[in-house]
């Protein structure tokens, strides 16, 4: 059914003329079940094709090839992403967990203070907050050297237990023909519209705490919808929380543990089927 839905979405004009049913007959046909949201085939704005391998980064950070991206798990929800031209990006930049170098670009989310700061380093060239003060959704689409960054807004719970609309953004980084998504402080499953806006993702950073963000059942549903080749857990606080998530998904996805916090990725080296890679950290 899902394959048929994707086919309909990509050939809607042709299929409408072929499968249109007269009103009198439509009432006699059973209603099909609502399709489950799922990821589209390509990353908007770029060609995302080919198979992807994970190469452990050397202890001494070497120059990257034109098709490579370096990812370092700093901790909590912060990753340092480096492009072939050594543009450095820090995700969910805050006052507590920071990379040792000043990044060129930072992204932030509004859940609480371990995901943003009101006082970013003045040497940062581009600060992207994942929420807007007027309550409208972010809609970033910016390019800096060899990096393109887009955002898709989602809601979060506020401190009073209600909803802060558009308080979180899923940031998508298009680098070296890879699409890398950071789910931020995601509090709900994704709609088809949001999945379409995200597009195909090669690597996803996924919060797996199961409580402060989305519950485990919901987060697994998100992963199944995204169909990402490489999933990297974050926001897990301790080994118990991480193991609880891994126990839930080990029957669905193989799990690999990296010995280092830094890895170098390329499109050609991604796993042929979805896999979870755990980087040392918290």
How far apart CA 117 and CA 254 sit, in angstroms, is: 36
Residue 195 lies in a domain: yes
Say which CATH number the domain at 253 has.
Answer: 3.60.15.10
Domain of 171 in residue numbering reads as: 56-278
- By DSSP bridging, strand 203-207 and strand 178-182 are parallel
HSE of 85, CA atoms in CB hemisphere, 13 A: 9
Would the pLDDT of 59 be above 50?
A: no
pLDDT at 111: 83
**The whole model's pTM is what?**
0.80
Q: Which residue has the tokens 């926001």?
A: 235
**Chain Cα centroid distance, residue 15:** 32
CA 83 vs. chain centroid, Å, equals 17
Q: Is the pLDDT of residue 129 over 90?
A: yes
**What is the DSSP secondary-structure string of 89-149?**
EESS--SSS--SS--SEEEE-SSSTTS--SS--TT-SEEEESS-TTSPPP--EEEETTEEE
Task: List the one residue out of 149, 187, 182 whose CA is nearest residue 167.
Answer: 187
Instruction: Kindly state whether residue 15 falls inside one of the protein's structural domains.
Output: no
Domain presence at residue 38: no
Strands 78-82 and 68-75, how do they pair?
A: antiparallel
The residue with greater pLDDT, 135 or 30, is: 135
Domain for residue 214, yes or no?
Answer: yes
Structural domain count, the chain: 1
Q: Is the pLDDT of residue 180 over 90?
A: yes
Q: 39: pLDDT confidence band, cut at 50, 70 and 90?
A: low
Q: How far apart are CA 97 and CA 100, in angstroms?
A: 10
Within a domain: 128: yes
Distance CA 173, CA 192 (A): 20
Of the pLDDT bands very low, low, confident and very high (cuts 50, 70, 90), residue 35 is low
Tell me whether residue 243 is in a domain.
yes
- Contact criterion met (CB below 8 Å) for 242 and 278: yes
């Amino acid at each position: 059914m899902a394959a048929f839905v994707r086919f309909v979405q990509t050939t809607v004009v042709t299929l409408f003329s072929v499968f249109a049913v007269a009103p009198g007959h439509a009432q006699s046909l059973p209603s099909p079940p609502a399709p489950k949201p799922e990821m589209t085939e390509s990353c908007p704005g770029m060609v995302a094709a080919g198979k992807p391998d994970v190469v452990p980064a050397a202890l001494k950070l070497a120059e990257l090839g034109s098709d490579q991206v370096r990812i370092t798990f700093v901790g909590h929800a912060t990753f340092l992403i480096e492009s072939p031209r050594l543009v450095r990006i820090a995700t969910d930049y805050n006052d507590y967990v920071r990379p040792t170098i000043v990044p060129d670009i930072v992204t932030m989310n509004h859940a609480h203070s371990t995901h943003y700061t009101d006082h970013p380093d003045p040497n940062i060239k581009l600060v992207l907050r994942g929420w807007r003060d007027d309550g409208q959704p972010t809609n970033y689409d910016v390019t800096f050297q060899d990096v393109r960054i887009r955002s898709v807004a989602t809601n979060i719970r506020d401190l009073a237990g209600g909803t802060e609309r558009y308080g979180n953004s899923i940031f998508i980084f298009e680098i070296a023909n890879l699409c890398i998504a950071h789910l931020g402080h995601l509090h709900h499953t994704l709609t088809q519209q949001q999945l379409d806006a995200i597009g195909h993702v090669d690597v996803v950073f996924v919060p797996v705490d199961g409580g402060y963000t989305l519950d485990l059942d919901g987060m697994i549903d998100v992963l199944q919808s995204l169909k990402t080749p490489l999933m990297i857990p974050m926001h897990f606080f301790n080994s118990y929380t991480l193991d609880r998530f891994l126990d839930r998904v080990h029957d669905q996805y193989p799990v690999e543990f990296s010995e280092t916090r830094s890895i170098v990725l390329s499109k050609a080296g991604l796993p042929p089927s979805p896999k979870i890679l755990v980087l040392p950290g918290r």
